[in-house]
Structure 1
């Protein structure tokens, strides 16, 4: 099958033809629309490259999101439109989440089709960048992804945590947990509900969201690691996406005490960025742990099959019913 690949630098070029329609139909519009990815590219330290793979008739098969990680590179500079490092790695994963892969395949595309689309993307990169990179690295791949994305080196990385929704109502979920966990959750919820307003909102103030998300990211980041914050524009665009809602915690003045952005694919809820102030700035303890059962409750109400919680903190997430799912990195030689 002859495939064509349209590549685009979102800072200097327009979207590949049919990009937004394809990612929206695939259930990923809230995170993969061109303007959303362009907002992130404008605040990135490495240049971004988007690719749409289509057959000869123009029907899209796959979309890819990659960044050119230049070597040696400088953490103090931002990507410039149309400029590429002389050498480095091309990393294929979604941004800003470290838990989502850098590809979206068309619904119903079989394993062979996925392999052909991935190979076409790799070939297009070689034509575009030539000798300016040494390898293509696909991150956060599932076991099924490994059957269609292959390379000389495959590494297992930190697992992804998810809760499979198997209960008809929230009481059924609570009944599946140990008694001490149920009692602790109920006590915590009662205490929070006394003076905190918890609700689902279509959007939050982008400036507040960017500030609180960066507060959490900075808390868990090495002091030697320099990274720009997630831009306000990104949160503004998430607030316009019908697939994204925010679980929010507000005090009696309606000030934001915490939030988590959640993307709904139609079958899965995906927990994205968590933001909250430090305790020195009025942060409320316990809100982070309260969000897990509320996310489960939301998934049950919407009839979703899976709640994706990303990687990290397995000792916390498994207490709420999450199970680990293997993830891998595949290195594709140039």
Structure 2
């Protein structure tokens, strides 16, 4: 059985909580968050669930992109005649957008081609012409159905299980980086004008968080395709999920939020999900990102987590902080060709 759901209109399925727990789907996959994000998105966001009777066996999240899709236009009610699906995780771009109970050695790519593509072809009709699958691991052979595979940005994973403390982690780094971090931590921790606190996400002010995160969005306006700005309603739903924590940096004199990073818990691989900071010329402080890295290490160790995912971008810098870089790939799939081989 296959359910193709639109979080804007479809109620949360009765099996959703059990599916999230089994698949290890983080806060971005909360149905409340999916619905809020879908209403604020520039594309329809179908969620497809594969079931064996009442038991969910797989889930795929995607964006339906057509000629109507525009950078600053919300998704309309119509689908558009021709388009393609971009398979990616909701919210975070450094994780796959699918899970299968029997993914196999190729991480689920064969299941996407053999099960998901025909299901979406039936749902979307002949206008469904292509699919882009992001965040694949090592490229997997899939007959002639995958026409183009390209390496994309690596993701950075910091393994912390071997460390006993933040200082222990720093000790493992190169001498220059270690000295730099120690100076940063001493400076920030001893500065009475800035307060650092780690709190559940529900205690954060989503308006202040949105304002700080948009500083980063403005810095990347030169990038042709970037995410839409962070909407307060979406952040309100996201931050109140029980597996979300935030590290906040406040000006003690004014109470202003100067920087913020979020951590999404997970038994095996938590995520450092957001980061934003006010520019120095606007009253911000230097080097808070490095301090946040240290706070994430302490948080992971305190909660017995073996690793933390620090996402994409700034790969060389993250490597100097001890992260290993995991190669990622994207695959382009022509749907008509896939169907002939199915």
TM-score (norm 2): 0.88
Q: Which residue of 2 aligns with 1:284?
A: 285
Change (3 A) 1:236 1:288: same
Match of 1:164 in 2: 159
SS in 1 for 2:58: strand
Aligned 8 A contact 2:107 2:137 in 1? no
Q: Counterpart of 2:92 in 1: which secondary structure?
A: coil
Q: Does 1:36 align with 2:30?
A: no
2:131 corresponds in structure 1 to 136
Contact 1:200 1:246 in 2 (8 A): yes
Return the offset for 1:310.
0.8
What is the distance in 1 between the residues matched to 2:107 and 2:159?
28
2:228 counterpart residue number = 228
How far apart are the structure 1 equivalents of 2:110 and 2:323? 34
Q: Please report how far the alpha carbon of residue 115 of structure 1 lies from its aligned counterpart in structure 2 after TM superposition.
A: 5.6
The one of 56, 65, 80 aligned to 2:61: 65
Deviation at 1:148, TM superposition (A): 8.3
Which of residues 59, 76, 91 is equivalent to 1:80?
76
Give yes or no for contact 1:15–1:34 (8 Å, CA) kept in 2: yes
Q: Deviations over 1:3-22 (max 9, x none)?
A: x2100111222234412331
C-alpha spacing 1:200/1:148, structure 2 compared with 1 (3 Å):
farther
Whether the 8 Å CA contact 2:170–2:181 is kept in 1: the answer is no
> In 1, distance between residues paired with 2:266 and 2:142?
22
Partner of 2:199: 201
Corresponding residue for residue 7 of structure 1:
4
Runs of 4+ aligned structure 1 residues displaced above 6 Å come to 147-150
> Matched residues in 2 for 1:111 and 1:315: separation?
29
Work out whether residues 173 and 322 of structure 2, in 8 Å CA contact, stay in contact via their aligned partners in 1.
Answer: yes
Q: In the alignment, does 2:52 pair up with 1:52? A: no
Distance between the aligned counterparts of 1:112 and 1:60, measured in 2? Answer: 20
d(CA) in 2 for partners of 1:95, 1:132: 23
1:104-123 matched pairs, under 5 angstroms: 104-106=99-101, 110-111=104-105, 114=108, 117-118=111-112, 119-123=114-118
Could you report, residue by residue, the CA deviation over 1:18-45 in whole angstroms, capped at 9, with x for unpaired residues? 1233113433241201111111111111
What runs of 5+ residues in structure 2 fail to find an aligned partner?
336-342
CA distance in 1, matches of 2:49, 2:137: 21
Instruction: Give distance in 2, aligned partners of 1:15 and 1:272.
Output: 24
Change beyond 3 A, Cα 1:307–1:283: same
Q: TM-score, normalised by structure 1?
A: 0.90
Q: How many residues align?
A: 327
Q: 2:182 aligns with which of 186, 209, 220?
A: 186
8 Å CA contact 2:8–2:39 kept in 1: the answer is yes
In 2, the alpha carbon distance for the partners of 1:16 and 1:151 equals 32
1:109 deviates by: 5.6
Gap change, CA 1:235 and 1:24, over 3 Å in 2: farther
Cα RMSD of the aligned pairs, angstroms, is 2.4
Q: Which segments of 5 or more consecutive residues in structure 1 lack a partner in the other structure?
A: none
- The answer on whether the counterparts of 2:106 and 2:140 sit within 8 Å (CA) in structure 1 is no
User: Which is worse superposed, 276-285 or 256-265?
Assistant: 276-285
Distance 1:109 1:69, change over 3 A: closer
